[in-house]
Structure 1
Amino acid sequence: MRLWALGLGAGLLYGVLFGLAIHYLEAESWKSAVVAAVITGPPLGVTMVLLQRRWGALIPSIDTNLTREQRRTAFQASRRGPVPTDPAIRAAALVAARRQLDRYRSRLFRVFLFVMPVFLVLSGVLTLLDDDREKWRAILPLAGAVLLSWSAFEPRRLRRRVKLLSTPDST
């Protein structure tokens, strides 16, 4: 229950900040700002909780013979940092890295990775071409496109990590 409260609190905070930005930066009425905050805040909080639960489920499923701290260390080692010297933690990190890589191989992720940057770049270009808007407003969609494009390189990094964790003498 605590995770849900945290996620909904974060969604509420985002909604309030988004509503304030709509009101002050877009010069919209308070009614429009509140509607935008209510529409965006709770769904963002729920989405954050669902993603956290999905990624969090990976940690306990790594190896039940390890302590919670060792599982956390294995999960962190599956992404970055030094290769664990403990063979059990190293094996758990390898399993976690392979599972993460499998998630990036899904068709839905590949479609998302292609479509979202295209729409964000299109949004940025249209903002630049719009005579009624300030040009600085194109920064946000273009920055989003860059961040999403970074995700395209994550599978390659995970493959290198799997190879590193699989090599017996890479300590």
Structure 2
Amino acid sequence: MRSEPVEVPGWILGVLGGVLFGVAMGAFIKHDGSSWTAAGVGVIVTGVPFGLAMGWWSARWRRGLKDAEGDISAEKARLAQRAATGGPAPEDDEVRSAALRIASRYLESYTGRTRWLFIIVPAAILLGTIAGAAGGSPWELLGAPVAAGLLYARWYWPRRLRRRIALLTEATPETRE
């Protein structure tokens, strides 16, 4: 039995993400009555940039997460990852410190420079899907749950992470003495 997660290179995630996104966009283009050529061009025009962005973001995220974990064993890193998002505060100081750094890294991704971009884009997509459905095509509503889920996550997770950081901070040895 494998004790640590499989490390998939960022470029593979980028390729897979680009292919899946491109195929989904091509299917929507074809569903709208366009030709197969237009759908194929849509696959390439949307899939390649999405895949490149996904690969870059994935590699950057992993580097930041590895930095937050620090030099701890794979087992302790797994425990710290789990403790960063839920459960009781770990008793092990090394795991708790890593969990605090990981939770702070997660929060950083929700409150950074791109925070408003990740709120405005899903809101615009949500409004666009509703407007498209009102215009006569109920298929337009397929994107609404995804956009609504992204908006909810942008609202909910930063609050949850702040509470988690407070819990992990209160449990550190310096604050207990």
TM-score class normalised by the smaller sequence = 0.7 to 0.9
Aligned to 2:175: none
Cα displacement (A) at 1:2: 4.0
Aligned to 1:160: 163
Residue 12 in structure 1 maps to residue 19 in structure 2? yes
- Mapping for residues 1-171 of structure 1, pairs under 5 Å: 2-23=9-30, 25-109=31-115, 111-130=116-135, 133-140=136-143, 142-150=144-152, 151-168=154-171
CA separation of 1:72 and 1:43: change in aligned 2, threshold 3 A? farther
Can you list the C-alpha shifts for 1:16-66, whole angstroms capped at 9, x where unaligned?
A: 34323422x222101110011001112222222222212211232125431
CA separation of 1:82 and 1:60: change in aligned 2, threshold 3 A? same
Q: Percent identity?
A: 31
Cα displacement (A) at 1:91: 0.9
User: In 2, are the aligned partners of 1:116 and 1:148 still within 8 Å (CA)?
Assistant: no
CA separation of 1:20 and 1:127: change in aligned 2, threshold 3 A? closer
Partner SS, residue 119 of structure 1? helix
Following the alignment from structure 1 to structure 2, what is the Cα–Cα distance between the partners of residues 154 and 75?
A: 15
Can you list the C-alpha shifts for 1:61-99, whole angstroms capped at 9, x where unaligned?
A: 125431233223313321234432321011110112123
User: In 2, are the aligned partners of 1:101 and 1:159 still within 8 Å (CA)?
Assistant: yes
CA separation of 1:81 and 1:27: change in aligned 2, threshold 3 A? farther
CA separation of 1:113 and 1:152: change in aligned 2, threshold 3 A? farther
Letter in 2 for 1:148: L
Following the alignment from structure 2 to structure 1, what is the Cα–Cα distance between the partners of residues 78 and 60?
A: 15
Partner SS, residue 62 of structure 1? helix
- TM normalised by structure 2 equals 0.78
Following the alignment from structure 2 to structure 1, what is the Cα–Cα distance between the partners of residues 95 and 36?
A: 53
Following the alignment from structure 2 to structure 1, what is the Cα–Cα distance between the partners of residues 78 and 55?
A: 19
User: In 2, are the aligned partners of 1:84 and 1:90 still within 8 Å (CA)?
Assistant: yes
- Compute the RMSD of aligned alpha carbons: 2.4
- TM normalised by structure 1 equals 0.81
User: In 1, are the aligned partners of 2:68 and 2:105 still within 8 Å (CA)?
Assistant: no
Alignment coverage as a number of residue pairs: 164
Following the alignment from structure 2 to structure 1, what is the Cα–Cα distance between the partners of residues 163 and 147?
A: 24
